[in-house]
Structure 1
Amino acid sequence: MMEQAELCFPQLLNTSCKKLTRPHSEAILMYTVFSSISLLTVSLNLLVIISISHFRQLHTPTNLLLLSLAVADFLIGLLVMPVEILLTEPCWLLGDLVCVLVYFVPCIILLASVVNMVLISVDRYVAICDPLRYPTKITQKRVQVFVLLCWIYAVFYSFLLYYDNLKQPGRYNSCYGECVVNINGAVDMVLFFILPITAIIILYMRVFVVAVSQARAMRSHIAAVTLQRSVTVTKKSELKAARTLGVLVAVFLMCYCPFYCVTLSGYDLMMSSSSSFFVLFLTNFNSCLNPVIYTFFYSWFRKSVKLIVTLEILQPNSCEANVL
């Protein structure tokens, strides 16, 4: 009886996985933390989505990229985090196809989030390093096309990565009650992490160098004519946006790097282990931190949230409200 009690499927004595139990207090803590962060992530990113979508003043190319990132973060809170709570369970009871899908769908969302970060870095690079041609290079329609391509690429890449698993779900399980998928780790590391992170770092290093030189130039021409003052104001706003998005990218790197550093080290992360829980929590927590960064650095977000919370957006012509 004791052996049966330790099996995921006691009726399948020879083919069932063993049920590894964890302390009740640890399980409660994991569920509480993940559920709270999931709810907070969904709520905060929903505010970002409503703000940028509703108010016309916020319909800019940069904010469109932030909107796409917020959609990805919203889906991480709504779909990925609850699924990872299930993956921390000692036994998988939802079948082989669902097992593959709970890896496949989050891969799409997380990759879209990573590619959005790259697009944001490109946007700031052009805005700071080539400001005169920025309005013609980075247009609303072009950004819409790139955002669409970003999500298409995420779906296509994830499909190729999990093709074998989708074709024959459960082929890598060694027993019933296990949820195991197999992917090409080297390819995933290069395309999902190394290339995007390298691009982000190189672009922002260039942005930082140019931003510092522009800041010095602005200080040396403090007594400019009115036209030059307007240009200076524009440059200041672009520099502030670059600084804010730089913080966004830095937080993104701090949250994502531990997972891939552990992967590079060759350490095997079991989904039900505490170490896996912490690394996954840190990765997903990035989606909750992004709206918090907007709150501290963007006055338009604070103003729009106030209008949303007080239900003033339900008033006629509220989309024309001044939130800048």
Structure 2
Amino acid sequence: MLWTEELRSLVLTVDGITLIAGVPANLLALYTFIQKVKQRATPIDVLLLSLTISDLIFLFFLPFRMKEAADMKWTISYFLCPLSGFFFYSSIYNSTFLLTAISVERYLGVAFPIKYKLKRHPRYAVIASIIFAIVSMAHCSIVYIMQYYRHTNDSLSDPFEKEVCYEEFSKEQLTILMPVRLELFTVLFCTPFLICCFCYIKFIYILSRLPNIKPKKRSRAIGLALATLLVFIICFAPYNISHVVGFIGWYSPEWRVYALLTSTFNACLDPLIFYFSSSALRANLKQLLRGPTKRRHTSCCRFIKCPQINCTATEESTQSSNDTTT
């Protein structure tokens, strides 16, 4: 991959937007789900908390990519190259598993409400989250294998002397890398995506046939399904399709860097999943957005000569609304 000014600007813009929008959204989600798990843990809360942690790990290592783009070469210690790549890619594929688990949990909840309610337990979600993380990291350990693989071509530079991070591969390295990328497409993307599609199609179908579901709740459920499928199609599909194209042509496509940029948006779109999935998060978000308004009303009553009865009514209304939300 050759860095250009256009590519540099694009990477910095996309990663910057993701970082600015993703960090506060995921921190709010982290606070909400930790509180929920402490009070009364449910499988969906555990899965959403795991997804939030995965996104925050992804965002933590995002500045390394931004630094490389800003300098148009890898100038940091090369020890951090495989480390950042390992967690960066592991977080992406861990998200596909967790999003799929959320879709399965939602489907089972409406398809088998009684049986599933009797057997559901948060520890199963904890076990599933641990397994997802192990499988994702095991597959993405290919980053370290490629980094320290000893090839016989002496014309290639030593890994620690390269100015790019995880981009240049010898023919011997491609012999190992290409099948692994195809497996990533099949096991860590294609299979979860098909399961997700099945679960949410059935989920929407069942909800549409239930007469007692409120329109607002039905709309949120449809929004959850569409947001999840949108994350798969926009964020994960292009990058994983590059695995298949590269395997067929037995090369590493140059446009992979652009496809990877769409995966970066995952950390921004996941909060949509959180919003549709958690009433506690919706309540916290409303309370957070209502905070500045409440402070303005309080300042009005203290410093401006407005009618006392109106200010008192405003304060009481705000307080009552906060109590109802909590």
Same-fold status (TM-score > 0.5): yes
Q: Is the CA contact 1:52–1:67 (under 8 Å) kept in the aligned structure 2?
A: yes
Paired AA for residue 165 in structure 2: C
* Partner of residue 198, structure 2: 205
Q: Is the CA contact 2:239–2:260 (under 8 Å) kept in the aligned structure 1?
A: yes
With CA pairs under 8 Å and 6+ residues apart, which has the higher RCO, 1 or 2? 1
Which segments of 5 or more consecutive residues in structure 1 lack a partner in the other structure?
A: 1-18, 220-231, 313-320
Once the 2 structures are TM-superposed, how far is the Cα of residue 251 of structure 1 from its aligned partner? 1.5
Q: Of 262, 269, 287, which aligns to 1:282?
A: 262
Q: Is the CA contact 1:42–1:75 (under 8 Å) kept in the aligned structure 2?
A: no
Distance 1:132 1:299 in 2: 22
Q: Is the CA contact 1:57–1:323 (under 8 Å) kept in the aligned structure 2?
A: no
For structure 1, which segment, 191-200 or 142-151, has the greater mean C-alpha deviation from structure 2 after superposition?
A: 191-200
Paired AA for residue 237 in structure 2: C
Q: How large is the Cα RMSD of the aligned pairs? A: 3.7
Number of paired residues? Answer: 278
Paired AA for residue 263 in structure 1: H
Q: Is the CA contact 1:104–1:162 (under 8 Å) kept in the aligned structure 2?
A: yes
Q: Of 237, 251, 262, which aligns to 2:230?
A: 251
Q: Report the secondary structure of 1:179's partner residue.
A: coil
Q: Is the CA contact 1:123–1:138 (under 8 Å) kept in the aligned structure 2?
A: no
Q: Report the secondary structure of 1:184's partner residue.
A: helix
Once the 2 structures are TM-superposed, how far is the Cα of residue 49 of structure 1 from its aligned partner? 0.8
* Partner of residue 85, structure 1: 66
Q: Is the CA contact 2:196–2:229 (under 8 Å) kept in the aligned structure 1?
A: no
Paired AA for residue 198 in structure 1: T
Q: Report the secondary structure of 1:174's partner residue.
A: coil
Distance 1:78 1:68 in 2: 15
Q: Is the CA contact 1:97–1:169 (under 8 Å) kept in the aligned structure 2?
A: no
Once the 2 structures are TM-superposed, how far is the Cα of residue 178 of structure 1 from its aligned partner? 3.7
Q: Report the secondary structure of 2:79's partner residue.
A: helix
Distance 1:124 1:64 in 2: 13
* Offset from partner CA, 1:21-49 (integer Å, 9 cap, x none): 633x7634542442232122111111111
* Partner of residue 189, structure 1: 182
Once the 2 structures are TM-superposed, how far is the Cα of residue 257 of structure 1 from its aligned partner? 0.6
1:191–1:265 Cα change, 3 Å: closer
Once the 2 structures are TM-superposed, how far is the Cα of residue 50 of structure 1 from its aligned partner? 0.7
Once the 2 structures are TM-superposed, how far is the Cα of residue 150 of structure 1 from its aligned partner? 2.0
* Offset from partner CA, 1:154-177 (integer Å, 9 cap, x none): 333333x24533555899992332
Once the 2 structures are TM-superposed, how far is the Cα of residue 297 of structure 1 from its aligned partner? 7.2
* Partner of residue 179, structure 1: 165
Q: Is the CA contact 2:44–2:102 (under 8 Å) kept in the aligned structure 1?
A: yes
* Partner of residue 51, structure 1: 32
Which segments of 5 or more consecutive residues in structure 2 lack a partner in the other structure?
A: 295-322
